[in-house]
Chain A
Amino acid sequence: MSKAPDDLKYTKDHEWVRDNGDGTVTVGITDHAQEALGDLVFVEVPEIAKRLAAGEACAVVESVKAASDVYSPLAGEVTEINEALGDAPETINEDAYGEGWMFKLRVADAAELEAMMDAAAYGRFLEEEDA
């Protein structure tokens, strides 16, 4: 069973969101997502200052098995990107919720965050998806 920390929010596309408490959030892909993808060989993160709509494809993760888009969980502006992933995409496999973060967003509407799934809801979602 893959991990899903309680202090994060989740999307149906298997992204996680951490509220940094300063109007920004950190975004990555979940442990379940990295497990399903397998060994990552390439990560493309969005550009700094790029404005994203909620649900917009903004990054790419490519593994030995597949290439997938990562969708922005919320509307906002990219404030920071994890440049270390360029040389070490496997960081996401090793530490999806920590060092494997992908980008930070200044969110346009904090209420959107509240409406997202919490860890328990994401867990139920995964069970339904498996079923």
Chain B
Amino acid sequence: MPFIPHTQADVAAMLAAIGVETIEDLFDEIPSRLRACDIGSLPEALSEMEIGRLMQTRARQDGQPLSFLGAGAYEHHIPAAVWQIATRGEFYSAYTPYQAEASQGTLQVLYEFQSMMAALTAMDVSNASLYDGASALAEAVLMAVRANRQTQSRRVLVPRALHPAYRRTVHSIVHNQGIELVQVPYDRSGGHTAPERLAPFAGEEFAAMVIQQPNFFGVLEEVDALADWAHQHNALVIGVANPVALALLSPPGEWGAEGADIACGEGQPLGIPLSSGGPYLGFLCCRQALVRQLPGRLAGRTLDAEGKPGFTLTLQAREQHIRRSKATSNICTNQGLLVTAATLHMSLLGTEGLERVAAACHANTNLLAAILCEIPGVAPLFDRPRFHECALRLPAPAADLLRSLAAHNILGGFDLGSDYPELDPAILVCATEMRTPEDLDAYAAKLARVIATRTQARCPVEPKI
């Protein structure tokens, strides 16, 4: 039996049947400038042995730096049982469980994940995950524009203190659909999105407003005031939240008088290793009234023909394989394996464990900030309460200092100047529960030394040449 289904003869027969000469002709309506033609740079195929050696070399390059870098992805302790169980053969497939009769275990995991996320965000419904936090927010924006029946507006308020990569991803996905993102400035002394700064937008119509808690700077937003303002102005509220922070902070479903309409975010802190940036998982939750606008997989619990409980994909009329072009999204999968890990991680930690992780991160970062600010020239940029990240002003170019620290095997933080030139030179630092007091001291000592080398007055005696 051939493993490649379409032989040359099959292809020729199909083309003849529809009256087209070549496969290329099927794509001729796509302008040539939009087509990616150049794959000539792909290297030649390698043997298994060669690939093995290449990957070992690459893996060694990763090293194990001491990380104080957060900015959207966080190094947390992952109980060994999480991946031991997640990589069992029964779970180790990302494929969508269409066949309920053969996928009860996978479907139940998805259902448990949804239940946990709905509880964590205090929302009615959760989907079975999306690709990552940024694409989950893009889907939330599209969903809000479709769902808001009080306004025809296709404009969405987005704080400048929202994660810059999220802003770029959302822009890429929505701008060609005629949706305009309108930026709300942040307060330069507090680092938060001050509710009073919304006043200039009061006369305009918006489909939704995005609120990130904590925001990109790690600063806590006044979520109640922001959410209430949005609802008073007929805008839906999209909450973007760090799931670990939700163990301590009030969940999006309880923001303001009515709660957020949609909640989303990055699930990586729930048992997913950093892995050089992915794969991660996005979560997306909403109020019951919006569930028909929710994109992505949904697992539901039901009764079978014999009255026994079982699990199945549900509300599939939202999705591409039923609604085609009128589906809520072109998303038609979920991050099954990562959802499995996140579900295991949450069940192993439990409510109390997750709270302790969040509290430890918060305390550690406050301690780090205090130690670092003893170094002359280093000071906090913002004076408002934070969760587990802190923006610091530096007395020398951030990129140079970070490079020097990296040479000492320390990832010193995120260079804020690249996305916020007005704050340069500044970095965003994070200390999760993984950092010990010795780690914090080691970082402070190295940072003090590299700053001293950069800022010390030049020797008054000119060297003799």
* B326 and A69 form a contact (CB under 8 A): yes
A77 at the interface (CB under 8 A from B): no
Taking the closest CB of chain B, its distance from the CB of A66, in whole angstroms, is 7
* A67 and B149 form a contact (CB under 8 A): no
Q: Please, which residues of chain B bring their CB within 8 A of the CB of A67?
A: 317, 322-323
* SS class, residues of chain A in contact with chain B: strand
Cβ-neighbour of A42 out of B149, B317, B326 (below 8 A): B317
- Residues 7-22 of chain A, each 1 if its beta carbon lies under 8 Å from chain B, else 0: 0000000000000000
* SS class, residues of chain B in contact with chain A: helix
* B149 and A44 form a contact (CB under 8 A): no
B408 at the interface (CB under 8 A from A): no
Q: With A and B bound together, what is the CA distance between A86 and B389 in angstroms?
A: 45
Q: Please, which residues of chain B bring their CB within 8 A of the CB of A62?
A: 317
Q: With A and B bound together, what is the CA distance between A42 and B317 in angstroms?
A: 10
A64 nearest in chain B by CB position: B317
**Total A-B residue pairs with C-beta atoms closer than 8 Å?**
12
A47 at the interface (CB under 8 A from B): yes
Q: With A and B bound together, what is the CA distance between A44 and B326 in angstroms?
A: 14
**Which B residues from 310 to 358 make CB contacts under 8 A with A?**
317, 322-323, 326
Taking the closest CB of chain A, its distance from the CB of B291, in whole angstroms, is 10
B384 at the interface (CB under 8 A from A): no
Q: Please, which residues of chain A bring their CB within 8 A of the CB of B292?
A: 42, 44
Q: Please, which residues of chain B bring their CB within 8 A of the CB of A42?
A: 292, 317
Taking the closest CB of chain B, its distance from the CB of A52, in whole angstroms, is 15
Q: Please, which residues of chain A bring their CB within 8 A of the CB of B149?
A: 47
Q: With A and B bound together, what is the CA distance between A29 and B337 in angstroms?
A: 43
Most chain A beta carbons < 10 A, residue from B317, B322, B323: B317
- Residues 61-81 of chain A, each 1 if its beta carbon lies under 8 Å from chain B, else 0: 010001101000000000000
- Residues 147-161 of chain B, each 1 if its beta carbon lies under 8 Å from chain A, else 0: 001000000000000
Q: With A and B bound together, what is the CA distance between A44 and B328 in angstroms?
A: 14
- Residues 100-123 of chain B, each 1 if its beta carbon lies under 8 Å from chain A, else 0: 000000000000000000000000
* A66 and B326 form a contact (CB under 8 A): no
- Residues 133-163 of chain B, each 1 if its beta carbon lies under 8 Å from chain A, else 0: 0000000000000000100000000000000
Q: With A and B bound together, what is the CA distance between A67 and B317 in angstroms?
A: 6
Q: With A and B bound together, what is the CA distance between A67 and B327 in angstroms?
A: 10
Q: With A and B bound together, what is the CA distance between A5 and B185 in angstroms?
A: 61
Q: Please, which residues of chain B bring their CB within 8 A of the CB of A66?
A: 317, 322
Q: Please, which residues of chain A bring their CB within 8 A of the CB of B323?
A: 67
Q: Please, which residues of chain B bring their CB within 8 A of the CB of A69?
A: 326
Taking the closest CB of chain A, its distance from the CB of B287, in whole angstroms, is 15
B323 nearest in chain A by CB position: A67
Q: Please, which residues of chain B bring their CB within 8 A of the CB of A47?
A: 149
Q: With A and B bound together, what is the CA distance between A42 and B322 in angstroms?
A: 15
**Which B residues from 290 to 315 make CB contacts under 8 A with A?**
292
Taking the closest CB of chain B, its distance from the CB of A51, in whole angstroms, is 12
Taking the closest CB of chain B, its distance from the CB of A47, in whole angstroms, is 6
B149 nearest in chain A by CB position: A47
Q: With A and B bound together, what is the CA distance between A66 and B292 in angstroms?
A: 14
Q: Please, which residues of chain A bring their CB within 8 A of the CB of B317?
A: 42, 62, 66-67
**Which A residues from 52 to 107 make CB contacts under 8 A with B?**
57, 62, 66-67, 69
* Residues in chain A within 8 A of chain B (CB atoms): 42, 44, 47, 57, 62, 66-67, 69
State the 6 A-B residue pairs at the shortest beta-carbon distance, nearest first. A67-B317, A62-B317, A47-B149, A67-B322, A67-B323, A42-B292
Extra A-B contacts (4), CB below 8 Å, given A42-B317, A69-B326: A42-B292, A44-B292, A47-B149, A66-B322
Could you jot down 12 A-B contacts, CB within 8 Å? A42-B292, A42-B317, A44-B292, A47-B149, A57-B326, A62-B317, A66-B317, A66-B322, A67-B317, A67-B322, A67-B323, A69-B326
